[in-house]
Each structure stands twice: as C-alpha cells, then as structure tokens.
C-alpha cells in the first residue's frame, strides 16, 4: 500500500505552520503563516499544506482524507510476489477490480494456503470481511470478487456496490450532526471513477437501494452512533488505558519516554510537578521534567543555578516563569512547579497562576494558560532528566536533550488531585521522614 488514505486536508484553506493547532481547535492565522514561509520544511515548523493542494494531490479524484469520495479512499496497491504465481503472470500489469485494504490479509492467507483459525487460545475470532485478490494476477478481466464496501468516517458516509457508489457530502469534524438531512450523491464508478457526474436524480431507485444497503452494513459493522465531533473533542475524549487514572503519578530518570496517551493528563486542571533531587554543590543544570515539544509542551528545568518552568502554548508563545533565588544544596530537595487553575478563556483553555517552589519557599509566580488538547499526535512523550525530542523551549543553552547534571534526580511526581501545594509539600516531607 502506497498510502493509508488520500492526501490530507487538515491544513485548512490557508495551510498551517503547526498541525497541532488543528488538533487543539485553534485556527491558523495567515499573517503568522506568511511570516514563517521561509521556515517551511525546517525544524521550526510542523507544517501542513492547504487543502487546495490536497485536492490537487488526489487528482483526478476529488476531496481528501476524511471523506468517502475516491480522493479520500483510493490508494495505489503494488503486489510483487513472483514465487506465489510460479511464472510471469500479471507482471507489469494493471488491475481494475474493486478491492479494499481489508483484502490484504485474506490474499496473504490464500497465497500461503492457510485457513484462518476460528479460535486462538480459546478466543473466538471475528470474521474476515475481506476477500482474496490473488485471482487478479492470472485473470486480468475477471469481475471483482468484492461486491460491497462500506465506509463511515468522522460523519462522512459512503458505500460501493457492484460498480455503483453512494456518498454523502456531510462536512466531517464539524459537529453539525443532523445526519438525516445529509445529501446523498450517486456515481457509476465503473465508468466515472473521478465521481464527476452525480446520477442521483436520474436513478433515484438505485440511490435508495444503496442508502438502504449502507444502513444494513452500518448495523453489521457497529457504525452507530455516528460521530462528527471536532478533532479536539475526539482526541480529548477519555479512552480505555492500560492503567486507570490516578491523582498522582511518579516518574523516574533513565527510562524511555512515556507516550502522552499513557502519561499524566494535565489538560484543563490544576497540577503540581515536584522533583525530588540531591544537589551536593552549586552548578546543577538541565531538565528535571519535560513533556511535548516546541509545538506544544511544558518543562521544569535548572539554568544558571535557578529553577525555571516554561509552558509552550501550541507553539504560539513560550510562557516562562523564572526563579528569583539560587537553588539550595543538599539531599532530598523538592523543586516544584504548581499551577492553580482559576478560570477558562475560552472554554477548555485553562488560566491560572504558576508558582515555583524550593520546598515550601515560593521563589516565583506568573499567570499562564494551558492548551486544551494534546501536545503531540505521536512521539514527544514525558521524560525525566532530559528532553528527548524537539526542545520544549529555546531557553536550553544547547537545545535538547539538555540532560540534568550536577545532581541526582530520585523521582518526579505529578499530582492532579487539585489539593493546595502547601498540603502536598507537607505530605511529601512527611513521606520523606518515614523513608
């Protein structure tokens, strides 16, 4: 498979210099984009082309990923497996039968002569919806073994059946709902693969047949309820995780980064980050805690013998709070950043005061806002003792990873219970006394 879908339209009409804006429900600004035009493709941008280019890349098909027109679903598939056919049958040829990605596994099993097991380790397996494509190698003009293909994604719907295709024009990720008011279009894709001529008015019975078939297939494929919520709403909806949510999380140095879906969630809430460290003498330097990147993230770090915290709001602004006192030295020191949420502006964007502490001694404070969505779609996980990916802030002297030196990090705790910092600090001291 050359791609997993058609070209992507997440860049919007004007394109984007940071795709995480889209994932956080924040529109791009044209003037900001133009100011960064010479940085496109470099490390300072997480850029995405405008959806006009998505349409162009999908030529001759229309629309793009997220839609059920061929521009969103058609991809090249190249099969090269000479030993499976035993001769040169089909070599260098094109095939035009209608097939889907779900047909790949059945093709491999068919070629290997393997029957799919009904159970594995006592667990009954769900059925294969796919069919083998192997016949297309030797039978160039054979009719498609696949007769029906169902589609539903982010509010957009479609179905292909025996050379005909019905598809809705519902705007995806819009939150509009009202699915019963959708307009269905009809195309005879055997002769009109670009889906240029809507035949719904000419063949209303065929259109109704396919719409009814879509509903039947939707029931079989557990497609209800339909969901066209925004990317921000979908991404931030809690999903089952390996570990249940907690009020407090402990992280340690010299471990792999923790993926954001498994890490502590600080979105739209108060939180406290506390690092337990030994610093034998002045001169400690580096990252205590970091999560995210220059395109959205936050970090607690030491620089010039002072404690610093930065919250990079979706790459738009680095909100820095700088300690006003030199770090203490000794064992079992607690260096903390505590955010007390006091509002939302706009909804989902928390506002509040971020305070820095050496133990129970407040050494700085300032107002910040926190982003509503994720820091990253992939990678850029939570780290202790270093910033493993793209740096959260440009304030590191030598960029990332800016490893912590001059002391020892025992652990970093992140508390999201909402309890006041003074109570958390007393609890931590009592715990250290017990240890």
Single residue among 237, 258, 284 that ends a domain in this structure: 237
How far apart CA 430 and CA 435 sit, in angstroms, is 9
pLDDT value, residue 127 = 86
Single residue among 177, 208, 237 that ends a domain in this structure: 237
* 417-427 pLDDT, tens digit each: 988 877 776 77
pLDDT value, residue 249 = 94
> Given its phi and psi angles, is residue 265 left (phi above 0), alpha (psi -120 to 50 degrees) or beta?
beta
Domain that holds residue 179: 147-237
109: pLDDT confidence band, cut at 50, 70 and 90? very high
pLDDT value, residue 89 = 62
10: pLDDT confidence band, cut at 50, 70 and 90? confident
pLDDT value, residue 88 = 59
352: pLDDT confidence band, cut at 50, 70 and 90? very high
Q: How many domains does the chain have?
A: 2
pLDDT value, residue 432 = 64
pLDDT value, residue 85 = 55
Q: Are residues 259 and 347 in the same domain?
A: yes
| 47, pLDDT greater than 80 | yes
Q: Are residues 353 and 428 in the same domain?
A: yes
In a domain, 201, yes or no: yes
pLDDT value, residue 122 = 94
Q: Three-state secondary structure along the chain?
A: CCCCCCCCCCCCCCCECECHHHHCCCCCCHHHHHHCHHHCCCCCCECECCHHHHHHHCCCCCCCCCCCCHHHHCCCCCCCCHHHHCCCCCCCCCCCCCCCHHHHHHHHHHHHCCCCCCEECCEECCCCCCCCCCHHHHCCCCCCCCCEEEEEECCEEEEEECCEEEEECCCCCCCCCCHHHCCEEEEECCCCCCCCCCCCCCCHHHHHHHHHHHHHHHHHCCCCCCCCCCHHHHHHCCCCCCCCCCCEEEECCCCCCECCCCCCCCCCCCEEEEEEEEECCCCCEEEEEEEEECCEEEEEEEECCEEEEEEEECCCEEEEEECCCCCCCEEEEEEEEEEEEEEECCCCCEEEEEEEEECCEEEEEEEEEECCCCCCCCCCCEEECCCCCCCCCCCCCCCCCCCCECCEEEEEEEECCCCCHHHHHHHHHHHHHHC
In a domain, 264, yes or no: yes
In a domain, 70, yes or no: no
In a domain, 227, yes or no: yes
For the chain, give the percent of residues with pLDDT over 90: 73
Q: Are residues 289 and 412 in the same domain?
A: yes
For all residues of the chain together, what is the average pLDDT? 91
Q: Are residues 407 and 274 in the same domain?
A: yes
Q: Are residues 183 and 278 in the same domain?
A: no
| 90, pLDDT greater than 70 | no
In a domain, 49, yes or no: no
Q: Are residues 253 and 227 in the same domain?
A: no
Q: CATH number of the domain at 401, please.
A: 2.60.120.200
Q: What's the whole-model pTM score?
A: 0.86
* 224-241 pLDDT, tens digit each: 999 999 988 988 888 887
| 382, pLDDT greater than 80 | yes
The candidate with the shortest Cα–Cα distance to 116, out of 125, 85, 81, is 125
* 12 contacts 230 by C-beta, under 8 angstroms: no
What is the average per-residue pLDDT within 124-148?
91
In a domain, 60, yes or no: no
pLDDT value, residue 434 = 66
Q: Are residues 340 and 414 in the same domain?
A: yes
Q: CATH number of the domain at 196, please.
A: 3.30.1120.10
What is the average per-residue pLDDT within 69-77?
90
In a domain, 74, yes or no: no
- Asked if the bond preceding 153 is cis, omega within 30° of 0, the reply is no
Q: Are residues 359 and 406 in the same domain?
A: yes
pLDDT value, residue 78 = 87
Q: Are residues 252 and 394 in the same domain?
A: yes
What is the average per-residue pLDDT within 305-330?
96
What is the average per-residue pLDDT within 398-411?
94
* 293 contacts 375 by C-beta, under 8 angstroms: yes
91: pLDDT confidence band, cut at 50, 70 and 90? confident
In a domain, 330, yes or no: yes
| 84, pLDDT greater than 60 | no
Q: Are residues 299 and 414 in the same domain?
A: yes
| 83, pLDDT greater than 80 | no
pLDDT value, residue 372 = 94
What is the average per-residue pLDDT within 21-44?
91
Q: Are residues 329 and 394 in the same domain?
A: yes
* 144-177 pLDDT, tens digit each: 999 999 999 999 999 999 999 999 999 998 999 9
The candidate with the shortest Cα–Cα distance to 336, out of 276, 410, 399, 379, is 276
pLDDT value, residue 148 = 96
Single residue among 211, 237, 263 that ends a domain in this structure: 237
pLDDT value, residue 140 = 86
Q: Are residues 152 and 261 in the same domain?
A: no
* 342 contacts 239 by C-beta, under 8 angstroms: no
């Amino acid at each position: 498979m050359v791609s997993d879908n058609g070209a992507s339209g997440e860049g919007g009409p004007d394109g984007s210099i940071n795709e995480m804006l889209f994932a956080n429900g924040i529109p791009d600004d044209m003037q900001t984009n133009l100011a960064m035009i010479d940085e496109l493709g470099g490390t300072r941008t997480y850029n995405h082309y405008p959806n006009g280019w998505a349409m162009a890349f999908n030529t001759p098909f229309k629309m793009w990923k997220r839609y059920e027109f061929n521009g969103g679903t058609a991809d090249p598939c190249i099969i090269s497996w000479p030993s499976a056919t035993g001769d040169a049958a089909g070599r260098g040829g094109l095939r035009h039968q209608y097939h889907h990605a779900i047909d790949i596994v059945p093709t491999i099993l068919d070629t290997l002569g393997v029957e799919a097991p009904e159970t594995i380790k006592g667990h009954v397996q769900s059925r294969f919806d796919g069919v083998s494509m192997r016949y297309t190698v030797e039978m160039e003009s054979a009719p498609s073994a696949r007769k029906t293909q169902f589609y539903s994604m982010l509010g957009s719907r479609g179905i292909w059946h025996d050379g005909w295709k019905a598809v809705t024009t519902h705007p995806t990720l819009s939150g509009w709902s009202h699915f019963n008011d959708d307009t269905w279009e009809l195309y005879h894709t055997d002769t009109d693969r670009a889906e240029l001529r809507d035949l719904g008015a000419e063949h209303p019975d065929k259109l109704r047949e396919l719409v009814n078939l879509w509903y039947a297939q939707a029931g079989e494929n557990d497609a209800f309820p339909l969901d066209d919520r925004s990317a921000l709403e979908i991404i931030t909806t809690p999903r089952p995780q390996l570990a249940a949510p907690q009020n407090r999380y402990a992280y340690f140095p010299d471990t792999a980064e923790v993926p954001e879906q498994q890490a502590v969630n600080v979105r739209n809430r108060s939180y406290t980050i506390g690092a337990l460290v030994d610093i034998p003498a002045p001169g400690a330097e580096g990252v205590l805690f970091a999560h995210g990147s220059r395109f959205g993230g936050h970090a607690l770090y030491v620089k010039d013998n002072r404690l610093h915290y930065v919250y990079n709001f979706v790459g738009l602004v680095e909100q820095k709070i700088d300690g006003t006192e030199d770090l203490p030295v000794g064992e079992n020191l607690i260096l903390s950043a505590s955010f007390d949420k006091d509002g939302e502006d706009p909804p989902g964007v928390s506002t509040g005061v971020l305070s820095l502490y050496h133990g129970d001694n407040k050494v700085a404070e300032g107002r910040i806002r926190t982003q509503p969505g994720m820091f990253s779609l992939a990678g850029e996980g939570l780290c202790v003792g270093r910033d493993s990916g793209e740096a959260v802030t440009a304030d590191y002297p030598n960029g990332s990873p800016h490893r912590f030196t001059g002391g020892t990090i025992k652990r970093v705790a992140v508390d999201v219970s909402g309890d006041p910092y003074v109570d958390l600090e007393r609890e931590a001291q009592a715990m250290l006394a017990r240890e």
